[in-house]
């Protein structure tokens, strides 16, 4: 996720006080995955292996008719289990081929399998459903998440909890699965989704696109985008296939905006390790959304990507394919592992493409913003600056209502640069590669990352981690001449 108007957000923060919500660790129950920020997201007791979603939409109105086939492994003995699923009407539901009873409460779908499931059993749930998907406005983003329909286009952006608006899901990144997305639209429309487009079949004026996502994917990264797209196919210099989908009227913008994607991909592979997926590319939604999202193998951008210099956004979403998509969060409170890494990757791309001075200038800007020095230069009083710093909160522990706080991006990125300066370049990139490799296609926590960093550097990084991620006061970076301002 990359917020394109983060500066406006921080100005607006002067006028809005968002109350802290008391958090307590919930007891593990079937209706949640144990997330510290979003206890209701996801479910326990099973591990989804694969989703097949067959979905048809007429495109002249916002309705869908769909069937989800979910293959899962029971990780406990289950008399019942839950899925996350919002609002759509269920026509039928079966478990292992037998009709099953179910009930719904909010976005929790509770299912009673006809036969109890034993730990270790693989089981199949088939749910037929239809209706008008209604996207949900998440307070962290103020944007409509999930399945969105707007004047004959469809786009899906779901971080963190929008997946359940269009398919029944274990809607938490700790349960990743492979996906088949089989989407049927009127002939002439093009469907851009995750993975490899395996088959396109047109019959009776309807075209079905079958997309296969063969590496595990978190539900929020699943995307379906429908428009009259032009497809651009190519590959990176080292041979990773790239396909971009642009609305027809932006056909001529592909090279200018996405021309560096291949070179970026190969550069990131050289420092992070092999690109984790079969393909990469971009899809552009013909709307002004104010953010971009790292939907797996096909990053999603809005039409403001065509305005001004968007190289940093393109680099940011690409880097997320390693950090966020391949290595995913175990708990949403560790979001800096996604956003701090992607922000740092923007600076790494600057270092590679324009030199160390450009990188250091960007880092100094971020430091001045996060330390409050930039506010001082804008004439804020010390009291106002303290309020701003408190609003940023703790990088390693964001508020549930403010998941995409500037700190998880900028101070997260600064944390990585400070680590690099502490352990040295060679060890730093060994740490990054080991982290990407060890947790490839899996899930990691902040502690997992620091365990690797300590092992490879031989340093005790407990105080470093505490100071950078879990303290309000930002540490100095003396070797770059970066110090927090003195405040009364
Ligand atoms: Zn991001």
Task: Calculate how far, in angstroms, residue 11's C-alpha sits from the geometric centre of ligand 1.
Answer: 20
Beta bridge partners of 104: 109
The residues, any chain, with a CB within 8 Å of residue 188's CB and separated by 6 or more, are 207, 228
CA neighbours closer than 13 Å in the CB half-sphere of residue 90: 24
Give the model's pLDDT for residue 10: 42
> Looking up tokens 């002439």, which residue turns up?
188
CB 438 within 8 A of CB 326: no
CA–CA separation, 166 vs 64, rounded Å? Answer: 9
Task: Calculate how far, in angstroms, residue 293's C-alpha sits from the geometric centre of ligand 1.
Answer: 7
For the beta carbon of residue 408, count every other beta carbon within 10 angstroms: 29
Q: Which residue ranges make up each domain of the chain?
A: 40-329, 331-480
Task: Calculate how far, in angstroms, residue 32's C-alpha sits from the geometric centre of ligand 1.
Answer: 25
| Secondary structure (3-state) at 70 | strand
361 CB-contact burial (10 Å; exposed 0-12 / middle 13-18 / buried 19+): middle
CA–CA separation, 252 vs 248, rounded Å? Answer: 9
Task: Calculate how far, in angstroms, residue 323's C-alpha sits from the geometric centre of ligand 1.
Answer: 9
220: nearest Cα among 174, 184, 183, 255 = 174
* DSSP track, 406-468: HHHHHHHHHHHHHHHHHH-HHHHHHHHHHHHHHTTTSEE-HHHHHHHHHHHH----HHHHHHH
Task: Calculate how far, in angstroms, residue 441's C-alpha sits from the geometric centre of ligand 1.
Answer: 18
Task: Calculate how far, in angstroms, residue 93's C-alpha sits from the geometric centre of ligand 1.
Answer: 36
Task: Calculate how far, in angstroms, residue 145's C-alpha sits from the geometric centre of ligand 1.
Answer: 15
Task: Calculate how far, in angstroms, residue 69's C-alpha sits from the geometric centre of ligand 1.
Answer: 30
Task: Calculate how far, in angstroms, residue 290's C-alpha sits from the geometric centre of ligand 1.
Answer: 13
Give the pair of three-digit tokens for residue 7. Answer: 């500066």
Each of the 488 residues of the chain gets a pLDDT tens digit; together they read 887 754 444 444 433 333 444 444 434 478 899 999 999 999 999 999 999 999 999 999 999 999 999 999 999 999 999 999 998 999 999 999 999 999 999 999 999 999 999 999 999 999 999 999 988 887 777 789 999 999 899 999 999 999 999 999 999 999 999 999 999 999 999 999 999 999 999 999 999 999 999 999 999 999 999 999 999 999 999 999 999 999 999 989 999 999 999 999 999 999 999 999 999 999 999 999 999 999 999 999 999 999 988 999 999 999 999 999 999 999 999 999 999 999 999 999 999 999 999 999 999 999 999 999 999 999 999 999 999 898 999 999 999 999 999 999 999 999 999 999 999 999 999 999 999 999 999 999 999 999 999 999 999 999 999 999 999 999 999 999 999 999 88
Task: Calculate how far, in angstroms, residue 405's C-alpha sits from the geometric centre of ligand 1.
Answer: 11
Task: Calculate how far, in angstroms, residue 316's C-alpha sits from the geometric centre of ligand 1.
Answer: 6
Task: Calculate how far, in angstroms, residue 58's C-alpha sits from the geometric centre of ligand 1.
Answer: 32
308 CB-contact burial (10 Å; exposed 0-12 / middle 13-18 / buried 19+): exposed
Task: Calculate how far, in angstroms, residue 294's C-alpha sits from the geometric centre of ligand 1.
Answer: 7
Task: Calculate how far, in angstroms, residue 318's C-alpha sits from the geometric centre of ligand 1.
Answer: 9
Give the model's pLDDT for residue 455: 98
Q: Which CATH class is domain 331-480?
A: mainly alpha
Task: Calculate how far, in angstroms, residue 314's C-alpha sits from the geometric centre of ligand 1.
Answer: 10
Give the model's pLDDT for residue 17: 39
Task: Calculate how far, in angstroms, residue 171's C-alpha sits from the geometric centre of ligand 1.
Answer: 19
CA–CA separation, 8 vs 13, rounded Å? Answer: 8
Task: Calculate how far, in angstroms, residue 96's C-alpha sits from the geometric centre of ligand 1.
Answer: 39
Task: Calculate how far, in angstroms, residue 341's C-alpha sits from the geometric centre of ligand 1.
Answer: 8
Assess: ipTM above 0.95. yes
Distance of alpha carbon 206 from its chain centroid, rounded?
A: 31
**CATH superfamily of the domain spanning 40-329:** tricorn interacting facor f3 domain (2.60.40.1730)
267: nearest Cα among 337, 314, 306, 326 = 314
Task: Calculate how far, in angstroms, residue 317's C-alpha sits from the geometric centre of ligand 1.
Answer: 6
Task: Calculate how far, in angstroms, residue 259's C-alpha sits from the geometric centre of ligand 1.
Answer: 20
CB 485 within 8 A of CB 373: yes
């Amino acid at each position: 996720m990359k917020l394109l108007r983060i500066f406006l957000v921080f100005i607006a923060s002067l006028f809005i006080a968002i109350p802290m919500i008391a958090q307590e660790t919930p007891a593990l129950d079937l209706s949640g995955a144990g997330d510290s920020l979003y206890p209701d997201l996801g479910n326990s007791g099973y591990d989804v292996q694969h989703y097949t979603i067959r979905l048809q939409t007429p495109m002249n109105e916002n309705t869908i008719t769909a069937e989800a086939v979910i293959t899962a492994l029971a990780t406990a003995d289950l008399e019942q289990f839950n899925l996350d699923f919002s609002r759509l009407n269920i026509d039928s539901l079966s478990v292992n081929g037998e009709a099953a009873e179910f009930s719904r409460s909010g976005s929790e779908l509770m299912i009673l399998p006809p036969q109890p499931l034993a730990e270790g059993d693989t089981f199949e749930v088939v749910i037929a459903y239809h209706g008008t998907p209604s996207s949900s406005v998440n307070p962290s983003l103020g944007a409509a998440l999930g399945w969105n329909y707007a004047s004959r286009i469809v786009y899906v952006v779901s971080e963190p909890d929008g997946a359940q608006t269009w398919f029944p899901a274990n809607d938490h990144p700790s349960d990743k699965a492979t996906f088949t997305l089989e989407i049927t639209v009127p002939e002439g429309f093009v469907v851009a989704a995750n993975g490899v487009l395996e088959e396109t079949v047109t019959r009776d004026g309807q075209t079905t696109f079958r997309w296969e996502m063969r590496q595990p994917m978190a539900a929020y990264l699943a995307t379906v985008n429908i428009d009259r797209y032009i497809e651009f196919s190519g590959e990176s210099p080292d041979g990773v296939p790239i396909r971009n989908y642009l609305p027809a009227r932006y056909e001529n913008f592909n090279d200018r905006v996405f021309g560096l994607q291949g070179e970026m991909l190969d550069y990131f592979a050289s420092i992070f390790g092999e690109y984790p997926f079969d393909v990469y590319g971009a899809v552009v939604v013909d709307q002004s959304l104010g953010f971009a999202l790292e939907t797996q193998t096909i990053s999603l951008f809005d039409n403001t990507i065509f305005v001004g210099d968007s190289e940093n956004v393109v680099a940011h979403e690409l880097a997320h394919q390693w950090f966020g998509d391949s290595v995913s969060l175990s708990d949403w409170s560790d979001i800096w592992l996604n956003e701090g890494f992607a922000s740092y990757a923007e600076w790494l791309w600057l270092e590679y493409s324009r030199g160390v001075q450009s990188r250091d200038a960007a880092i100094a800007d971020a430091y001045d913003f996060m330390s409050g020095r930039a506010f001082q230069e804008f004439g804020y009083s010390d009291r106002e600056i303290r309020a701003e710093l408190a609003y940023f909160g703790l990088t390693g522990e964001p508020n549930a209502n403010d998941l995409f706080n500037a700190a998880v991006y900028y101070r997260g990125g600064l944390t990585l640069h400070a680590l690099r300066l502490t352990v040295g370049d060679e060890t730093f990139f060994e740490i990054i590669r080991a982290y990407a490799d060890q947790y490839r296609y899996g899930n990691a926590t902040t502690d997992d990352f620091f365990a690797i960093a300590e092992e490879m550097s031989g340093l005790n990084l407990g105080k470093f981690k505490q100071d950078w991620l879990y303290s309000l006061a930002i540490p100095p970076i003396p070797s770059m001449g970066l110090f927090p301002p003195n405040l009364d």
